C-alpha cells in the first residue's frame, strides 16, 4: 500500500476517535467551542474517507474510458476538502454568534479541559506524521490534509485557552469569541488549498522556476537548434510536458529519435519525485508561425 493511502487510513481512524470524544463532551458541557471542534472532527472523518477513495482511484492505470488516467481526482479531492472546511467554518461562525445572543453556561468544565488536552496530543501526533508523508511524497491531498489537521491543532489549543479564561473569569462570551476566531482562521487557512486544487483542475502551467529549468536544459542540448510551443501542467503526482524541438533538416529519423529519448530522460531527472509524461514533436524547421496561423482560423 502506498504511503499516502496509509496516511489517509491513519487520519480516518484518528478523526473517528476525536469525533466521538469531542461530541460527547460538547453535548454534556454545552461549549460552542468544543462543539465547533467536534463538528470539525466529524468533517475530518468524511474528508479522510474521500481522500482515501481519491488516492486509491487516482493511481489506476489509464484505460479505454480514461485514456490519461484519473490523476485529477487528487486536486478534486483537495477542492472538495477545502469547500467542506469553508462550510464548516461558516456553521461554527453562526453557532458562535447565536451563543452571543443567547448565552449558555459551560458545564463539566474540568472534564472538558482534560478531553481537549487529550485531543491536542492526538492531533499533534497526526500532524507530525502527515507532515512527514507530505515531505516524502509531495502529494497535494496529503499536504491539504496536513494543513487541515494543523488548523485543528491550533483550534483545539484555542478552545483550551477559551475554557481556561471562562473558568477564571466566568465570562461565557469568551467561548463565542474563540469560536469566531476559529472560524475565521479556518477560512483563511483553506484559501491556499482551494487555489492549488483549482489551478491543477484548470491545467495551470508549472511555476516559472520550473519552466526556466526546462528551457535551460533544452538550450544546453547542442543538437537541438531551437524549440517552441512548450506547454506544461501538473495533475496530482504527475507532470505533463509537450514541445516542438527543431533539429537539423538532414538528420536521420533514427538519430532524431535518439536525441528525443535523451532529452526525455534529462527532463524526467528534473522532477525525480514525480511521474513525468513528455511529448516531443520533432521538426526539421521552425513551424511555429504556420501553427499560429492555423490556430487563428
CATH number, domain with residue 286: 3.30.70.1350
Q: Do 88 and 221 belong together in one domain? A: no
Residue 109 has a pLDDT of: 61
Q: Read off the pLDDT of residues 244-282 as tens digits, 9 standing for 90 and up.
A: 999 988 889 899 999 999 999 999 999 887 889 999 999
Cell numbers at 227, concatenated = 524549440
Q: What is the CATH number of the domain that holds 33?
A: 1.20.1510.10
Give dist(CA 197, CA 74) in Å, integer.
8
Task: Single out the residue in 201, 220, 244 at which a domain terminates.
Answer: 201
C-alpha distance across the termini of the chain, in Å: 49
Residue 211 has a pLDDT of: 93
Q: Do 152 and 10 belong together in one domain? A: yes
Q: Do 155 and 253 belong together in one domain? A: no
Q: Is residue 134 predicted with pLDDT exceeding 80?
A: yes
Q: Do 14 and 68 belong together in one domain? A: yes
Q: Do 146 and 218 belong together in one domain? A: no
pTM of the complete model: 0.67
Q: Do 238 and 122 belong together in one domain? A: no
Q: Do 59 and 147 belong together in one domain? A: yes
* Strands 226-235 and 238-246, bridge-based pairing: antiparallel
Number of separate domains in the chain? 2
32 band by pLDDT with thresholds 50, 70 and 90? low
Q: Read off the pLDDT of residues 285-294 as tens digits, 9 standing for 90 and up.
A: 876 655 555 5
230 band by pLDDT with thresholds 50, 70 and 90? very high
| Average pLDDT, rounded, for the chain | 80
Residue 123 has a pLDDT of: 86
Structural domain of residue 243, as residue ranges? 208-296
Q: Do 130 and 59 belong together in one domain? A: yes
Average pLDDT, stretch 130-137? 85
Task: Single out the residue in 175, 201, 227 at which a domain terminates.
Answer: 201
Task: Single out the residue in 201, 235, 257 at which a domain terminates.
Answer: 201
Q: Do 240 and 193 belong together in one domain? A: no
Residue 217 has a pLDDT of: 92
Residue 36 has a pLDDT of: 67
Q: Do 185 and 226 belong together in one domain? A: no
Q: Mean pLDDT lowest for which of 137-141, 193-197, 223-227, 282-286? A: 137-141
Q: Read off the pLDDT of residues 150-200 as tens digits, 9 standing for 90 and up.
A: 877 877 777 777 777 777 776 667 767 777 877 887 788 778 878 888 988
Residue 288 has a pLDDT of: 67
Higher pLDDT, 297 or 248: 248
3-state SS, 174-232, equals: HHHHHHHHHHHHHHHHHHHHHHHHHHHHCCCCCCHHHHHHHHHHHHCCCCCCEEEEEEE
Give dist(CA 107, CA 162) in Å, integer.
14
Q: Is residue 108 predicted with pLDDT exceeding 60?
A: no
Q: Is residue 242 predicted with pLDDT exceeding 90?
A: yes
Residue 237 has a pLDDT of: 75
Closest by Cα among 160, 179, 163 to 171: 163
Q: Is residue 75 predicted with pLDDT exceeding 60?
A: yes
Q: Do 126 and 234 belong together in one domain? A: no
Residue 72 has a pLDDT of: 83
Q: Do 46 and 99 belong together in one domain? A: yes
Q: Read off the pLDDT of residues 210-221 as tens digits, 9 standing for 90 and up.
A: 999 999 999 998
Residue 232 has a pLDDT of: 94
Amino acid at each position: 500500500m502506498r504511503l499516502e493511502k496509509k496516511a489517509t487510513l491513519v487520519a480516518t481512524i484518528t478523526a473517528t476517535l476525536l469525533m466521538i470524544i469531542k461530541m460527547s463532551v460538547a453535548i454534556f458541557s454545552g461549549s460552542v467551542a468544543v462543539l465547533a471542534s467536534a463538528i470539525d472532527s466529524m468533517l475530518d472523518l468524511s474528508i479522510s474517507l474521500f481522500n482515501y477513495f481519491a488516492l486509491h482511484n487516482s493511481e489506476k492505470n489509464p484505460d479505454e474510458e480514461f485514456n490519461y488516467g484519473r490523476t485529477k481526482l487528487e486536486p478534486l479531492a483537495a477542492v472538495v476538502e477545502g469547500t467542506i472546511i469553508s462550510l464548516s467554518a461558516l456553521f461554527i461562525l453562526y453557532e458562535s454568534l447565536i451563543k452571543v445572543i443567547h448565552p449558555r453556561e459551560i458545564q463539566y468544565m474540568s472534564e472538558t479541559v482534560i478531553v481537549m488536552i487529550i485531543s491536542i496530543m492526538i492531533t499533534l501526533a497526526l500532524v507530525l506524521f502527515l507532515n512527514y508523508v507530505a515531505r516524502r511524497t509531495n502529494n497535494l491531498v496529503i499536504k491539504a490534509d496536513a494543513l487541515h489537521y494543523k488548523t485543528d491543532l491550533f483550534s483545539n489549543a484555542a478552545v483550551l485557552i477559551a475554557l481556561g479564561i471562562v473558568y477564571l473569569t466566568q465570562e461565557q462570551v469568551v467561548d463565542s469569541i474563540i469560536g469566531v476566531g476559529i472560524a475565521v482562521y479556518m477560512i483563511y487557512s483553506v484559501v491556499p488549498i482551494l487555489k492549488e486544487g483549482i489551478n491543477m483542475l484548470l491545467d495551470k502551467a508549472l511555476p516559472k522556476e520550473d519552466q526556466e529549468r526546462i528551457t535551460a536544459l533544452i538550450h544546453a542540448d547542442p543538437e537541438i537548434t531551437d524549440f517552441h510551443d512548450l506547454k506544461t501542467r501538473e495533475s496530482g503526482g504527475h507532470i505533463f510536458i509537450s514541445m516542438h524541438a527543431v533539429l537539423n533538416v538532414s538528420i536521420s529519423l533514427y538519430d532524431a529519435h535518439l536525441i528525443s529519448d535523451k532529452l526525455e530522460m534529462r527532463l524526467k531527472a528534473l522532477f525525480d519525485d514525480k511521474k513525468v509524461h513528455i511529448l516531443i514533436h520533432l521538426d526539421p524547421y521552425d513551424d511555429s508561425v504556420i501553427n499560429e496561423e492555423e490556430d487563428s482560423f
